Every structure is written in C-alpha cells, then in structure tokens.
Amino acid sequence: MDPTRVAASEIPPHLESSEAAPETKLDNKQASTVASAPLVSLQTSPPQPSSLLGSFTLFHKLPYELRRKIWSHALSRPQVIAIQKYARFIRPKPADSIGLMSVCRESRLIFMEHYKLVEVPRTLSQPRIFPSALPILFYFSATNDICLLETLVLYHFSETTDQAELTFRDSIRVVVLDPLQWYPRHVSQSHMRNLAKNIVCAIAKYTNLERLVLLREQGYENMMETLMQELVSDRARQGLDRIPLVLENLARVTVLSFEYESPSRAQFARKKAILAYAA
C-alpha cells in the first residue's frame, strides 16, 4: 500500500465535497451597511511615556532622600525677579517657584530652606511720604534668583538706610541691568562717563554681588562698548573705598543682546535672554 495515499474514509467530512461553497450575495442596503461600518484598530502598542507622567502615584513611597533631591532639583531652576519703579513706588514681580510651596508639607519645608520671605517698603521716598502704604512681601532665593533692576532701583538700594532693604540688597548675588533703556541711540562720551560712574558707585554697595549682567538692545552696540570701557576705567573708580568685585575681572561682567517687536514685549524679551543665559 502506498503510504502517500490517504484513505477516503480518513478525509475530514468538511473536505469530502468537491463542490465550491455557494456565493453569498448582498443587496444594496446590506452592502452600504458593511461599507460604513467603523474599522476597529487591533493595535496593542504600549502607552507612550508622556501619558504616564501625569499619573504617577507612587512618589510618596520613594525614599525620603530621593524625594528631597527631586524637590531640590525642581527649586534649582533660575528665576528672574524684576523690580521696576513706578512714580514713587516699586513693584517686584516674584518668581514662579512659589507654587511648589503649596504642594504639600514636605515641599514647603524644602522650599523654605531655599527661599526667604523679603519685606521691602513700597515707596522709594526718604522719608516715607506714604506711611500707610503696606510693604511688599515676596520670596527670594539668593542662590537661585536673578534680580533684574532698573537703574533707578539700583541707585535706590545703594543709598537706602532701611534695614529690610539693606538685608535684601546684601543677599543679591546676580544683578541684571539694562543701563541704556532710557537713552537715545547716540549720546556723548560724557554721558557714558557719568552713567558708568553712577553704576560703579552703586554696585560697590552690593557687598555680596558676584556677577553683573548688562542687557544690550539691538542697535546699541557702540554705546555698550563705550560704557564697558568706562566701567573698568580709573575715572569711574575714583573716590571709592571699595572696588566692586565684579569689576576687578571682566569675566564677571556679561553682555546679553536682546530684541523685541513692540515696546510691550520688551520686558518679556529681557527675561527670555536672561533665562537662556542662566540655563
């Protein structure tokens, strides 16, 4: 017997008939229903990591040392505090890290290790013309925050006798100025000399200042070059009891350029340039 042959009795019943299966015909209504049926996706790929970040619920089970590092890292991002002058008043714009203080008790405790509550009088007048004006309260970190000061605010803090302002001034480590903000594009050499003298005399009072950043708007390149020369000249340092540390080495002075489309976007452009520099 040929082993390659299969007995007819061994053929499965559903294969016994050699006739083709009858063709099923659909009418127009059934065909349109099948054509319009939605397709069901059978893709079973794992969820993307970005979709899991907002649903992590095991943070409280991490070791305390690891949680502390995460909170500290979240607070280490540089922030810009802009202090501007409006008539006789000042208005600081605090950093955004204040949100981490209200997450939980643990984040608040770590936040308070980095940030201190600062109380600054609201007016720039000496003596106070508006004694009823409430002081300004905001949180400030000497290690993280960068102070963007108008030149008049820089001068005010250098001459103040208020203890709260003195404490705040002595904690500032990085100051950013836009010294040519109110100047036209062409001024005399004497104007730049006087401006440099005033800046040097002011920052000499900032005892813990480590770095000075000067902002330069597009089109003020020549004026900024002249100002830099005057800042390090002996004329600007005459009569000073203390030479500012940031001016002993030009590496501590940084010039950042910025540009903007409309005056209303100027402050945003300044902060953007500062954060790009500090990143």
**Per-domain boundaries in the chain:** 77-95+114-278
Segment among 15-29, 76-90, 137-151 with least mean pLDDT: 15-29
pLDDT of residue 97: 56
Residues whose CB is less than 8 angstroms from the CB of residue 245 and which lie 6 or more positions away in sequence, other chains included: 209, 210, 252
Peptide bond into 127 cis (omega under 30): yes
Q: Give the pair of three-digit tokens for residue 251.
A: 């590496």
Over 90: is that where the pLDDT of 175 sits? Answer: yes
pLDDT in tens, 50-80: 555 567 778 888 999 999 998 888 887 788 8
What is the distance in angstroms between the CA of the first residue and the CA of the last residue of the chain? 86
pLDDT of residue 8: 47
Query: How far, in Å, CA of 215 to CA of 218, rounded?
Result: 10
What integer best gives the mean pLDDT of the chain?
A: 77
Over 90: is that where the pLDDT of 32 sits? Answer: no
- The conformation of residue 92, written as its DSSP 8-state character, comes to E
pLDDT of residue 65: 92
Query: How far, in Å, CA of 207 to CA of 173, rounded?
Result: 9
pLDDT of residue 221: 92
pLDDT of residue 269: 92
Query: How far, in Å, CA of 16 to CA of 84, rounded?
Result: 94
pLDDT in tens, 111-169: 888 888 888 776 655 444 555 566 778 888 888 889 999 998 899 899 888 888 899 99
Over 90: is that where the pLDDT of 177 sits? Answer: yes
**Dihedral sign from CA coordinates of 177, 183, 188, 190:** negative
Q: Between residues 252 and 94, which one has the greater pLDDT?
A: 252
pLDDT of residue 126: 47
Mean pLDDT, residues 192-213 taken together: 90
pLDDT of residue 98: 66
Segment among 27-41, 58-72, 91-105 with least mean pLDDT: 27-41
Q: What percent of the chain has pLDDT over 70?
A: 68
**Dihedral sign from CA coordinates of 115, 120, 122, 123:** negative
Over 80: is that where the pLDDT of 234 sits? Answer: no
